[in-house]
Amino acid sequence: MSIQYKTINELSQMLKSRDISNKELIQETFNLIDANLHLNAFITLNKDASLLKAEELDKNLSLQPLSGIPIAQKDLFCTKDLRTTCGSNMLSNFIPPYSATVIENLENAGCVSVGKTNMDEFAMGSSNETSFYGNVQNPWGDKLVPGGSSGGSAAAVAAGIVPAASGTDTGGSIRQPASLCGISGLKPTYGRISRWGMIAFASSLDQAGPMARTAEDCALLLNQMCSHDLKDTTSLDETIPDFTENLDKPIKGLKIGLVKEFDLSQLDKEVVKVFEESKKQYETLGAEFIEISLPNISLSVPTYYVVAPAECSSNLSRFDGVKFGKRCDDPKDLEELYIKTRSEGFGDEVKRRILIGSYVLSAGFYDAYYKKAQQVRRLIKNDFDDAFKKVDVIMSPTTRGAAFEEGSKGDDPIQMYLEDLFTIPANLAGLPALSIPNGMVDGKPIGLQLIGNFLEENKLLRAAHNFQLSTDWHKKTPKGDIQS
Amino acid sequence: MDKKTVSTIAYLSRLSLDEENGEKITKDLENIIKFVNQLEDANTQNIEPLASPLEKTAKTREDKVTAQNRKDIFLERSPKSNDDYFLVPRVVE
Protein backbone atom coordinates (compact mmCIF):
# COMPACT_ATOMS: atom_id res chain seq x y z
CA MET A 1 0.00 0.00 0.00
CA SER A 2 1.50 3.32 -1.04
CA ILE A 3 2.04 5.95 1.56
CA GLN A 4 2.98 8.68 -0.91
CA TYR A 5 0.90 11.88 -0.64
CA LYS A 6 -1.02 10.57 2.39
CA THR A 7 -2.08 13.04 5.08
CA ILE A 8 -1.28 12.69 8.78
CA ASN A 9 -4.79 11.46 9.57
CA GLU A 10 -4.66 8.89 6.78
CA LEU A 11 -1.31 7.54 7.96
CA SER A 12 -2.50 7.47 11.58
CA GLN A 13 -5.52 5.44 10.50
CA MET A 14 -3.33 3.03 8.54
CA LEU A 15 -1.15 2.53 11.61
CA LYS A 16 -4.10 2.08 13.95
CA SER A 17 -5.83 -0.44 11.72
CA ARG A 18 -2.50 -2.22 11.25
CA ASP A 19 -2.57 -1.87 7.49
CA ILE A 20 1.05 -0.95 7.93
CA SER A 21 3.52 -1.26 10.80
CA ASN A 22 5.50 1.66 12.14
CA LYS A 23 8.67 0.11 10.78
CA GLU A 24 7.15 -0.43 7.34
CA LEU A 25 5.96 3.17 7.25
CA ILE A 26 9.41 4.51 8.05
CA GLN A 27 11.13 2.07 5.70
CA GLU A 28 8.74 3.13 2.94
CA THR A 29 9.47 6.81 3.72
CA PHE A 30 13.17 6.17 3.18
CA ASN A 31 12.36 4.38 -0.10
CA LEU A 32 10.56 7.55 -1.21
CA ILE A 33 13.52 9.66 -0.10
CA ASP A 34 15.83 7.44 -2.18
CA ALA A 35 13.53 7.67 -5.19
CA ASN A 36 13.58 11.47 -4.94
CA LEU A 37 17.26 12.15 -4.32
CA HIS A 38 17.31 14.41 -7.41
CA LEU A 39 15.20 16.94 -5.47
CA ASN A 40 18.10 17.47 -3.03
CA ALA A 41 15.46 18.14 -0.36
CA PHE A 42 17.50 16.65 2.49
CA ILE A 43 20.92 17.59 3.82
CA THR A 44 21.20 14.89 6.48
CA LEU A 45 19.18 11.70 6.94
CA ASN A 46 18.35 10.08 10.26
CA LYS A 47 17.68 6.55 9.06
CA ASP A 48 19.02 4.29 11.81
CA ALA A 49 17.51 6.24 14.70
CA SER A 50 14.19 6.54 12.83
CA LEU A 51 13.93 2.80 12.19
CA LEU A 52 14.84 2.12 15.81
CA LYS A 53 12.12 4.46 17.07
CA ALA A 54 9.62 2.82 14.70
CA GLU A 55 10.53 -0.63 16.01
CA GLU A 56 9.99 0.61 19.56
CA LEU A 57 6.59 1.97 18.58
CA ASP A 58 5.68 -1.41 17.07
CA LYS A 59 6.64 -3.13 20.32
CA ASN A 60 4.96 -0.70 22.69
CA LEU A 61 1.56 0.55 21.65
CA SER A 62 1.59 4.32 21.93
CA LEU A 63 -1.32 6.68 22.41
CA GLN A 64 0.67 9.77 21.44
CA PRO A 65 -1.29 12.00 19.07
CA LEU A 66 1.23 11.86 16.22
CA SER A 67 2.59 8.40 16.98
CA GLY A 68 4.77 7.06 14.18
CA ILE A 69 4.21 10.00 11.81
CA PRO A 70 7.33 10.68 9.72
CA ILE A 71 8.35 14.32 9.70
CA ALA A 72 11.13 16.23 7.93
CA GLN A 73 12.79 18.89 10.08
CA LYS A 74 14.23 22.06 8.66
CA ASP A 75 17.99 22.02 9.16
CA LEU A 76 17.75 25.22 11.17
CA PHE A 77 16.51 23.42 14.28
CA CYS A 78 19.10 21.92 16.58
CA THR A 79 18.66 18.16 16.79
CA LYS A 80 20.54 16.31 19.52
CA ASP A 81 23.37 14.20 18.11
CA LEU A 82 22.18 14.84 14.53
CA ARG A 83 24.16 17.20 12.31
CA THR A 84 22.58 20.66 11.98
CA THR A 85 24.05 22.85 9.24
CA CYS A 86 21.53 25.68 8.73
CA GLY A 87 22.39 25.36 5.04
CA SER A 88 25.86 26.77 5.71
CA ASN A 89 29.44 25.65 5.32
CA MET A 90 30.03 27.35 8.69
CA LEU A 91 28.10 24.59 10.48
CA SER A 92 28.96 21.69 8.16
CA ASN A 93 30.47 19.79 11.10
CA PHE A 94 28.09 20.91 13.87
CA ILE A 95 26.40 18.24 15.96
CA PRO A 96 24.19 19.89 18.59
CA PRO A 97 24.28 18.60 22.16
CA TYR A 98 20.56 19.33 22.58
CA SER A 99 17.34 19.54 20.59
CA ALA A 100 15.21 22.61 19.95
CA THR A 101 12.09 22.74 22.13
CA VAL A 102 9.84 22.43 19.09
CA ILE A 103 11.73 19.31 17.94
CA GLU A 104 11.33 17.80 21.43
CA ASN A 105 7.64 18.68 21.42
CA LEU A 106 7.07 16.97 18.07
CA GLU A 107 9.14 13.92 18.99
CA ASN A 108 7.42 13.61 22.37
CA ALA A 109 4.12 13.61 20.46
CA GLY A 110 5.35 10.53 18.57
CA CYS A 111 6.75 12.06 15.38
CA VAL A 112 9.74 10.35 13.79
CA SER A 113 12.29 12.90 12.51
CA VAL A 114 13.49 11.19 9.33
CA GLY A 115 15.93 13.87 8.25
CA LYS A 116 17.01 17.48 8.07
CA THR A 117 15.84 19.48 5.09
CA ASN A 118 17.79 21.73 2.77
CA MET A 119 17.30 25.48 3.08
CA ASP A 120 18.72 28.84 2.09
CA GLU A 121 21.88 29.54 4.09
CA PHE A 122 20.86 30.74 7.56
CA ALA A 123 17.32 31.11 6.12
CA MET A 124 18.41 34.06 3.97
CA GLY A 125 16.83 33.60 0.57
CA SER A 126 13.57 33.04 -1.27
CA SER A 127 14.58 30.35 -3.74
CA ASN A 128 16.83 27.91 -1.88
CA GLU A 129 19.64 28.97 -4.21
CA THR A 130 21.83 30.26 -1.36
CA SER A 131 22.25 26.84 0.31
CA PHE A 132 25.85 25.63 0.60
CA TYR A 133 24.42 22.15 -0.15
CA GLY A 134 23.02 23.04 -3.57
CA ASN A 135 19.64 24.05 -4.93
CA VAL A 136 16.48 22.14 -4.14
CA GLN A 137 14.35 21.08 -7.09
CA ASN A 138 10.67 21.93 -7.02
CA PRO A 139 8.85 18.61 -7.63
CA TRP A 140 6.54 20.48 -10.03
CA GLY A 141 9.16 20.90 -12.72
CA ASP A 142 12.79 20.72 -13.79
CA LYS A 143 14.96 23.67 -12.83
CA LEU A 144 12.10 25.31 -10.93
CA VAL A 145 12.95 26.70 -7.51
CA PRO A 146 10.89 25.45 -4.53
CA GLY A 147 10.96 28.89 -2.91
CA GLY A 148 12.74 29.56 0.32
CA SER A 149 14.04 29.53 2.79
CA SER A 150 12.16 26.36 3.87
CA GLY A 151 12.55 24.96 0.32
CA GLY A 152 13.60 21.43 1.26
CA SER A 153 10.70 21.06 3.69
CA ALA A 154 8.21 22.27 1.07
CA ALA A 155 9.64 20.02 -1.64
CA ALA A 156 9.60 16.95 0.64
CA VAL A 157 5.90 17.46 1.44
CA ALA A 158 4.98 18.38 -2.16
CA ALA A 159 6.66 15.22 -3.46
CA GLY A 160 4.58 13.20 -1.01
CA ILE A 161 7.67 11.84 0.77
CA VAL A 162 6.45 12.96 4.20
CA PRO A 163 3.06 14.25 5.31
CA ALA A 164 4.62 16.91 7.49
CA ALA A 165 7.63 19.15 7.83
CA SER A 166 8.79 21.89 10.11
CA GLY A 167 9.70 25.29 8.73
CA THR A 168 10.59 28.73 9.94
CA ASP A 169 9.31 32.05 8.68
CA THR A 170 11.17 35.35 9.15
CA GLY A 171 9.76 37.18 6.11
CA GLY A 172 7.76 34.47 4.35
CA SER A 173 10.02 31.43 4.50
CA ILE A 174 7.13 29.03 5.25
CA ARG A 175 4.37 30.63 3.19
CA GLN A 176 6.31 31.47 0.01
CA PRO A 177 7.71 27.93 -0.54
CA ALA A 178 4.31 26.49 0.46
CA SER A 179 2.77 28.60 -2.31
CA LEU A 180 5.40 27.65 -4.89
CA CYS A 181 5.18 23.93 -4.07
CA GLY A 182 1.38 23.68 -3.73
CA ILE A 183 1.17 22.79 -0.04
CA SER A 184 -0.23 24.36 3.13
CA GLY A 185 1.96 26.23 5.60
CA LEU A 186 1.36 28.35 8.67
CA LYS A 187 3.42 30.97 10.42
CA PRO A 188 1.91 31.29 13.91
CA THR A 189 1.70 34.40 16.07
CA TYR A 190 5.18 35.54 17.15
CA GLY A 191 5.88 33.75 20.45
CA ARG A 192 3.47 30.81 19.99
CA ILE A 193 6.31 28.37 19.36
CA SER A 194 9.50 28.46 21.36
CA ARG A 195 12.58 29.71 19.54
CA TRP A 196 14.90 27.77 21.87
CA GLY A 197 17.25 25.72 19.70
CA MET A 198 16.28 27.49 16.49
CA ILE A 199 19.39 29.01 14.96
CA ALA A 200 18.56 32.72 15.10
CA PHE A 201 18.42 34.91 11.99
CA ALA A 202 16.28 37.90 13.06
CA SER A 203 15.04 37.25 16.56
CA SER A 204 12.11 39.68 16.57
CA LEU A 205 10.74 38.16 13.34
CA ASP A 206 11.68 34.45 13.41
CA GLN A 207 8.85 32.02 14.06
CA ALA A 208 8.62 28.26 13.49
CA GLY A 209 5.56 26.63 12.01
CA PRO A 210 4.07 23.57 10.33
CA MET A 211 4.10 22.66 6.62
CA ALA A 212 1.77 19.92 5.41
CA ARG A 213 -0.66 18.91 2.67
CA THR A 214 -3.72 20.43 4.34
CA ALA A 215 -4.76 23.10 6.82
CA GLU A 216 -6.16 20.33 9.02
CA ASP A 217 -2.74 18.68 9.20
CA CYS A 218 -1.16 22.04 10.01
CA ALA A 219 -3.59 22.30 12.94
CA LEU A 220 -2.66 18.81 14.16
CA LEU A 221 1.02 19.72 14.06
CA LEU A 222 0.54 23.14 15.61
CA ASN A 223 -1.22 21.51 18.59
CA GLN A 224 2.04 19.75 19.38
CA MET A 225 4.53 22.44 18.36
CA CYS A 226 3.27 25.18 20.70
CA SER A 227 4.34 25.41 24.30
CA HIS A 228 5.22 27.99 26.87
CA ASP A 229 8.97 27.64 27.25
CA LEU A 230 10.93 29.23 30.08
CA LYS A 231 14.07 28.93 27.96
CA ASP A 232 12.73 31.53 25.48
CA THR A 233 11.84 34.85 27.08
CA THR A 234 9.64 35.75 24.09
CA SER A 235 7.65 32.53 24.38
CA LEU A 236 4.01 33.42 25.03
CA ASP A 237 2.38 32.41 28.29
CA GLU A 238 -1.09 32.17 26.73
CA THR A 239 -3.66 29.39 26.66
CA ILE A 240 -2.95 27.04 23.79
CA PRO A 241 -6.28 26.06 22.27
CA ASP A 242 -7.02 22.84 20.40
CA PHE A 243 -6.37 24.16 16.90
CA THR A 244 -8.38 21.32 15.34
CA GLU A 245 -11.53 22.29 17.20
CA ASN A 246 -14.41 23.62 15.09
CA LEU A 247 -12.40 23.44 11.88
CA ASP A 248 -15.51 22.15 10.10
CA LYS A 249 -17.73 24.90 11.45
CA PRO A 250 -19.13 26.97 8.56
CA ILE A 251 -17.63 30.42 8.03
CA LYS A 252 -20.85 32.20 7.10
CA GLY A 253 -20.47 35.86 8.01
CA LEU A 254 -16.65 35.76 8.17
CA LYS A 255 -15.37 39.22 7.34
CA ILE A 256 -12.43 39.11 4.95
CA GLY A 257 -10.34 42.22 4.39
CA LEU A 258 -8.88 43.10 1.00
CA VAL A 259 -5.96 45.49 1.15
CA LYS A 260 -6.57 48.59 -0.94
CA GLU A 261 -2.84 49.26 -1.26
CA PHE A 262 -1.95 45.84 -2.72
CA ASP A 263 -1.86 46.72 -6.41
CA LEU A 264 -2.79 43.44 -8.08
CA SER A 265 -2.81 45.01 -11.54
CA GLN A 266 0.98 44.62 -11.57
CA LEU A 267 0.65 40.86 -11.26
CA ASP A 268 0.35 38.32 -14.02
CA LYS A 269 -3.26 38.14 -15.29
CA GLU A 270 -3.48 34.43 -14.53
CA VAL A 271 -2.45 35.07 -10.92
CA VAL A 272 -5.19 37.67 -10.56
CA LYS A 273 -7.73 35.31 -12.12
CA VAL A 274 -6.86 32.61 -9.58
CA PHE A 275 -7.24 35.15 -6.77
CA GLU A 276 -10.63 36.34 -8.06
CA GLU A 277 -11.86 32.75 -8.24
CA SER A 278 -10.87 32.20 -4.61
CA LYS A 279 -12.85 35.29 -3.66
CA LYS A 280 -15.89 33.82 -5.38
CA GLN A 281 -15.33 30.55 -3.54
CA TYR A 282 -15.29 32.36 -0.20
CA GLU A 283 -18.44 34.25 -1.18
CA THR A 284 -20.12 30.91 -1.87
CA LEU A 285 -19.05 29.85 1.62
CA GLY A 286 -20.84 32.88 3.05
CA ALA A 287 -17.89 35.18 3.71
CA GLU A 288 -18.16 38.88 3.04
CA PHE A 289 -15.44 41.15 1.69
CA ILE A 290 -14.51 44.52 3.10
CA GLU A 291 -11.90 46.84 1.64
CA ILE A 292 -9.36 47.90 4.22
CA SER A 293 -6.47 50.32 4.11
CA LEU A 294 -2.96 49.62 5.38
CA PRO A 295 -1.45 53.01 4.48
CA ASN A 296 2.17 52.13 5.35
CA ILE A 297 2.22 48.64 3.88
CA SER A 298 4.32 49.69 0.88
CA LEU A 299 7.18 50.36 3.30
CA SER A 300 7.19 46.78 4.63
CA VAL A 301 9.98 45.46 2.40
CA PRO A 302 12.37 48.39 3.02
CA THR A 303 11.58 48.21 6.75
CA TYR A 304 12.33 44.50 6.73
CA TYR A 305 15.62 45.01 4.90
CA VAL A 306 16.84 47.22 7.71
CA VAL A 307 15.46 45.31 10.70
CA ALA A 308 16.30 41.78 9.54
CA PRO A 309 19.93 42.47 8.50
CA ALA A 310 20.51 44.47 11.71
CA GLU A 311 19.39 41.54 13.85
CA CYS A 312 21.24 39.09 11.58
CA SER A 313 24.55 40.92 11.86
CA SER A 314 24.24 40.76 15.63
CA ASN A 315 23.07 37.13 15.79
CA LEU A 316 25.67 35.83 13.36
CA SER A 317 28.55 37.37 15.28
CA ARG A 318 28.51 34.18 17.35
CA PHE A 319 30.05 32.27 14.45
CA ASP A 320 33.69 33.03 15.15
CA GLY A 321 35.45 29.69 14.78
CA VAL A 322 36.17 29.40 18.50
CA LYS A 323 33.43 27.45 20.27
CA PHE A 324 31.74 25.34 17.57
CA GLY A 325 31.42 25.03 13.81
CA LYS A 326 34.19 25.54 11.28
CA ARG A 327 37.55 27.14 11.85
CA CYS A 328 39.95 28.23 9.11
CA ASP A 329 43.33 26.51 8.73
CA ASP A 330 46.45 27.98 10.33
CA PRO A 331 45.37 31.45 11.41
CA LYS A 332 48.40 33.59 12.28
CA ASP A 333 46.58 35.42 15.08
CA LEU A 334 43.16 35.69 16.72
CA GLU A 335 41.90 38.39 14.38
CA GLU A 336 42.82 36.40 11.31
CA LEU A 337 41.06 33.42 12.87
CA TYR A 338 37.82 35.40 13.06
CA ILE A 339 38.07 37.04 9.64
CA LYS A 340 39.23 34.00 7.67
CA THR A 341 36.76 31.66 9.36
CA ARG A 342 33.81 33.95 8.68
CA SER A 343 34.89 34.79 5.13
CA GLU A 344 35.27 31.11 4.26
CA GLY A 345 32.25 29.94 6.23
CA PHE A 346 29.55 32.33 4.97
CA GLY A 347 28.15 32.60 1.45
CA ASP A 348 27.58 35.84 -0.46
CA GLU A 349 23.96 36.51 0.55
CA VAL A 350 24.76 36.03 4.23
CA LYS A 351 27.76 38.35 3.92
CA ARG A 352 25.63 40.95 2.16
CA ARG A 353 23.09 40.94 4.96
CA ILE A 354 25.70 41.07 7.71
CA LEU A 355 27.26 44.08 5.97
CA ILE A 356 23.93 45.90 5.59
CA GLY A 357 23.24 45.17 9.24
CA SER A 358 26.60 46.49 10.39
CA TYR A 359 26.05 49.59 8.25
CA VAL A 360 22.57 50.46 9.52
CA LEU A 361 23.66 49.87 13.12
CA SER A 362 26.88 51.85 12.89
CA ALA A 363 27.35 55.18 14.63
CA GLY A 364 25.96 58.02 12.53
CA PHE A 365 23.49 55.82 10.65
CA TYR A 366 21.61 54.16 13.53
CA ASP A 367 18.91 56.85 13.79
CA ALA A 368 18.49 57.29 10.05
CA TYR A 369 18.03 53.61 9.37
CA TYR A 370 17.53 51.31 12.33
CA LYS A 371 15.50 53.61 14.54
CA LYS A 372 13.55 54.91 11.56
CA ALA A 373 12.72 51.36 10.43
CA GLN A 374 11.54 50.47 13.93
CA GLN A 375 9.27 53.51 13.91
CA VAL A 376 7.82 52.56 10.54
CA ARG A 377 7.40 49.04 11.90
CA ARG A 378 5.10 50.45 14.58
CA LEU A 379 3.12 52.38 11.95
CA ILE A 380 2.63 49.13 10.04
CA LYS A 381 1.53 47.32 13.20
CA ASN A 382 -0.89 50.14 14.04
CA ASP A 383 -2.38 49.85 10.54
CA PHE A 384 -3.09 46.18 11.19
CA ASP A 385 -4.59 46.94 14.62
CA ASP A 386 -7.04 49.34 12.95
CA ALA A 387 -7.86 46.90 10.16
CA PHE A 388 -8.66 44.06 12.56
CA LYS A 389 -11.33 46.21 14.19
CA LYS A 390 -13.26 45.77 10.93
CA VAL A 391 -12.34 42.32 9.64
CA ASP A 392 -11.60 38.78 10.86
CA VAL A 393 -8.87 37.90 8.38
CA ILE A 394 -6.98 39.64 5.58
CA MET A 395 -6.62 37.92 2.21
CA SER A 396 -4.05 38.35 -0.58
CA PRO A 397 -2.05 36.22 -2.97
CA THR A 398 0.91 34.66 -1.12
CA THR A 399 3.36 35.37 -3.93
CA ARG A 400 3.57 37.52 -7.02
CA GLY A 401 3.62 34.45 -9.24
CA ALA A 402 4.22 30.70 -9.44
CA ALA A 403 7.62 29.00 -9.11
CA PHE A 404 10.33 30.62 -11.22
CA GLU A 405 13.39 29.08 -12.83
CA GLU A 406 16.75 28.77 -11.12
CA GLY A 407 18.91 31.79 -11.80
CA SER A 408 16.05 33.74 -13.38
CA LYS A 409 16.08 36.55 -10.81
CA GLY A 410 19.53 37.47 -12.06
CA ASP A 411 22.02 38.76 -9.54
CA ASP A 412 20.01 41.77 -8.37
CA PRO A 413 19.20 41.01 -4.73
CA ILE A 414 16.30 43.49 -4.63
CA GLN A 415 14.35 41.50 -7.24
CA MET A 416 14.60 38.50 -4.94
CA TYR A 417 13.68 40.61 -1.88
CA LEU A 418 10.44 41.72 -3.57
CA GLU A 419 9.44 38.07 -3.78
CA ASP A 420 8.29 38.46 -0.14
CA LEU A 421 6.17 41.55 -0.75
CA PHE A 422 2.93 40.01 0.53
CA THR A 423 4.40 37.91 3.32
CA ILE A 424 6.74 40.31 5.15
CA PRO A 425 4.04 42.53 6.77
CA ALA A 426 2.76 39.69 9.01
CA ASN A 427 6.28 39.14 10.38
CA LEU A 428 6.78 42.81 11.14
CA ALA A 429 3.49 42.91 13.07
CA GLY A 430 3.97 39.45 14.67
CA LEU A 431 0.67 38.21 13.24
CA PRO A 432 -0.27 34.64 12.27
CA ALA A 433 -0.58 33.97 8.54
CA LEU A 434 -0.94 30.92 6.33
CA SER A 435 -0.75 29.92 2.70
CA ILE A 436 -2.95 27.30 1.01
CA PRO A 437 -2.96 26.18 -2.61
CA ASN A 438 -5.71 27.99 -4.54
CA GLY A 439 -5.03 27.45 -8.22
CA MET A 440 -2.60 26.72 -11.01
CA VAL A 441 -0.71 29.06 -13.33
CA ASP A 442 1.05 27.47 -16.35
CA GLY A 443 0.74 24.06 -14.75
CA LYS A 444 2.36 25.26 -11.53
CA PRO A 445 0.63 25.69 -8.16
CA ILE A 446 0.11 29.01 -6.47
CA GLY A 447 -1.05 29.97 -2.99
CA LEU A 448 -3.55 32.15 -1.18
CA GLN A 449 -2.49 34.00 1.95
CA LEU A 450 -4.71 34.65 4.96
CA ILE A 451 -3.41 36.89 7.75
CA GLY A 452 -5.12 36.76 11.15
CA ASN A 453 -5.19 38.88 14.25
CA PHE A 454 -2.85 38.20 17.18
CA LEU A 455 -3.39 34.63 18.54
CA GLU A 456 -6.23 33.93 16.11
CA GLU A 457 -4.71 30.92 14.34
CA ASN A 458 -8.02 29.11 14.85
CA LYS A 459 -9.90 31.53 12.66
CA LEU A 460 -7.27 31.24 9.93
CA LEU A 461 -7.23 27.47 10.02
CA ARG A 462 -11.03 27.27 9.97
CA ALA A 463 -11.21 29.60 6.97
CA ALA A 464 -8.51 27.53 5.22
CA HIS A 465 -10.09 24.17 6.09
CA ASN A 466 -13.50 25.31 4.83
CA PHE A 467 -11.85 26.33 1.56
CA GLN A 468 -10.19 22.92 1.30
CA LEU A 469 -13.46 21.11 2.04
CA SER A 470 -14.97 22.80 -0.99
CA THR A 471 -12.00 22.81 -3.43
CA ASP A 472 -9.45 20.28 -4.68
CA TRP A 473 -6.35 22.43 -5.17
CA HIS A 474 -4.64 20.81 -2.16
CA LYS A 475 -5.19 17.38 -3.73
CA LYS A 476 -3.13 18.20 -6.81
CA THR A 477 0.29 16.59 -6.99
CA PRO A 478 3.03 16.71 -9.64
CA LYS A 479 1.82 13.23 -10.61
CA GLY A 480 -1.90 14.00 -10.88
CA ASP A 481 -4.84 14.49 -8.55
CA ILE A 482 -5.32 12.48 -5.38
CA GLN A 483 -8.57 10.55 -5.54
CA SER A 484 -10.59 10.51 -2.37
CA MET B 1 28.45 53.94 -0.31
CA ASP B 2 32.05 53.82 -1.46
CA LYS B 3 34.83 51.27 -1.28
CA LYS B 4 36.24 52.80 1.89
CA THR B 5 32.91 52.60 3.75
CA VAL B 6 32.47 49.01 2.61
CA SER B 7 35.92 48.04 3.80
CA THR B 8 35.23 49.69 7.18
CA ILE B 9 31.95 47.84 7.71
CA ALA B 10 33.54 44.65 6.40
CA TYR B 11 36.20 45.00 9.09
CA LEU B 12 33.55 45.74 11.75
CA SER B 13 31.82 42.55 10.61
CA ARG B 14 35.11 40.62 10.61
CA LEU B 15 34.71 39.72 6.95
CA SER B 16 37.22 40.10 4.15
CA LEU B 17 36.09 40.73 0.60
CA ASP B 18 38.30 39.91 -2.34
CA GLU B 19 38.69 42.43 -5.15
CA GLU B 20 36.05 41.04 -7.54
CA ASN B 21 33.60 40.25 -4.76
CA GLY B 22 34.23 43.63 -3.17
CA GLU B 23 33.07 45.53 -6.23
CA LYS B 24 29.92 43.50 -6.69
CA ILE B 25 29.04 43.78 -3.00
CA THR B 26 29.69 47.54 -2.98
CA LYS B 27 27.25 47.92 -5.87
CA ASP B 28 24.67 45.65 -4.22
CA LEU B 29 24.89 47.50 -0.92
CA GLU B 30 24.52 50.81 -2.69
CA ASN B 31 21.34 49.61 -4.38
CA ILE B 32 19.93 48.12 -1.19
CA ILE B 33 20.59 51.31 0.76
CA LYS B 34 18.96 53.32 -2.04
CA PHE B 35 16.00 50.98 -1.82
CA VAL B 36 15.58 51.32 1.95
CA ASN B 37 15.93 55.10 1.70
CA GLN B 38 12.20 55.08 0.84
CA LEU B 39 11.72 55.02 4.60
CA GLU B 40 12.61 58.72 4.67
CA ASP B 41 9.16 59.44 3.22
CA ALA B 42 7.32 58.14 6.26
CA ASN B 43 6.23 60.63 8.87
CA THR B 44 7.47 59.12 12.12
CA GLN B 45 7.35 62.16 14.34
CA ASN B 46 6.55 61.13 17.94
CA ILE B 47 6.34 57.46 16.97
CA GLU B 48 7.96 55.10 19.46
CA PRO B 49 10.25 52.55 17.80
CA LEU B 50 8.88 48.99 17.85
CA ALA B 51 11.66 46.54 18.64
CA SER B 52 9.55 43.40 19.01
CA PRO B 53 5.89 42.66 18.27
CA LEU B 54 5.29 41.47 21.83
CA GLU B 55 6.54 44.51 23.70
CA LYS B 56 6.62 42.54 26.91
CA THR B 57 9.35 42.79 29.48
CA ALA B 58 11.26 39.59 30.01
CA LYS B 59 9.97 37.69 33.02
CA THR B 60 12.10 37.14 36.05
CA ARG B 61 12.37 33.78 37.74
CA GLU B 62 13.42 32.51 41.11
CA ASP B 63 17.16 32.91 41.60
CA LYS B 64 18.00 29.23 41.53
CA VAL B 65 20.83 27.51 39.71
CA THR B 66 19.33 25.43 36.92
CA ALA B 67 22.30 25.14 34.60
CA GLN B 68 24.34 21.96 34.74
CA ASN B 69 28.04 21.82 34.19
CA ARG B 70 28.32 20.29 30.74
CA LYS B 71 31.82 21.49 30.02
CA ASP B 72 32.95 18.30 28.32
CA ILE B 73 30.00 18.17 25.94
CA PHE B 74 30.65 21.71 24.78
CA LEU B 75 34.45 21.57 24.61
CA GLU B 76 34.17 18.41 22.56
CA ARG B 77 32.40 20.41 19.81
CA SER B 78 35.04 23.07 19.65
CA PRO B 79 37.46 23.18 16.70
CA LYS B 80 40.32 23.23 19.21
CA SER B 81 40.30 22.75 22.99
CA ASN B 82 42.12 21.13 25.85
CA ASP B 83 40.53 19.66 28.98
CA ASP B 84 39.42 23.02 30.32
CA TYR B 85 39.53 25.69 27.63
CA PHE B 86 38.74 26.67 24.06
CA LEU B 87 42.08 27.22 22.34
CA VAL B 88 42.93 30.13 20.03
CA PRO B 89 46.23 31.54 18.71
CA ARG B 90 48.34 33.26 21.36
CA VAL B 91 46.99 36.76 22.08
CA VAL B 92 49.71 38.14 24.38
CA GLU B 93 53.33 37.60 23.32
A212 with A164: CB under 8 angstroms? yes
Q: Which of A204, A313, A360 sits opposite B52 (nearest CB)?
A: A204
The residues of A annotated with a catalytic role in the active site are: 74, 149, 173
A272 interfaces chain B, CB cutoff of 8 Å: no
ipTM over 0.90: yes
Min distance A290 CA to chain B CA atoms (Å)? 25
CATH architecture assignment, domain B1-40: Orthogonal Bundle (1.10)
Cβ–Cβ contact B60 with A under 8 A: no
> Is this structure's pTM higher than 0.90?
yes
> N- to C-terminal Cα distance for chain B?
38
Closest CA to A464 of A437, A431, A427, A426: A437
Query: Per-residue pLDDT for chain A (484 aa), expressed as one digit of tens each?
Result: 699 999 999 999 999 999 999 999 999 999 999 999 999 999 999 999 999 999 999 999 888 999 999 999 999 999 999 999 999 999 999 999 999 999 999 999 999 999 999 999 999 999 999 999 999 999 999 999 999 999 999 999 999 999 999 999 999 999 999 999 999 999 999 999 999 999 999 999 999 999 999 999 999 999 999 999 999 999 999 999 999 999 999 999 999 999 999 989 889 899 999 999 999 999 999 999 999 999 999 999 999 999 999 999 999 999 999 999 999 999 999 999 999 999 999 999 999 999 999 999 998 899 999 999 999 999 999 999 999 999 999 999 999 999 999 999 877 888 888 889 999 999 999 999 999 999 999 999 999 999 999 999 999 999 999 999 999 999 999 998 886 6
Ramachandran region, residue A459 (left: φ > 0; alpha: ψ -120 to 50; beta: rest): alpha
- Contacting residues of A for B9, CB less than 8 Å apart: 355, 358-359, 362
Instruction: Please report the domains of chain A, with CATH numbers, ordered by start residue.
Output: 8-252 (3.90.1300.10)
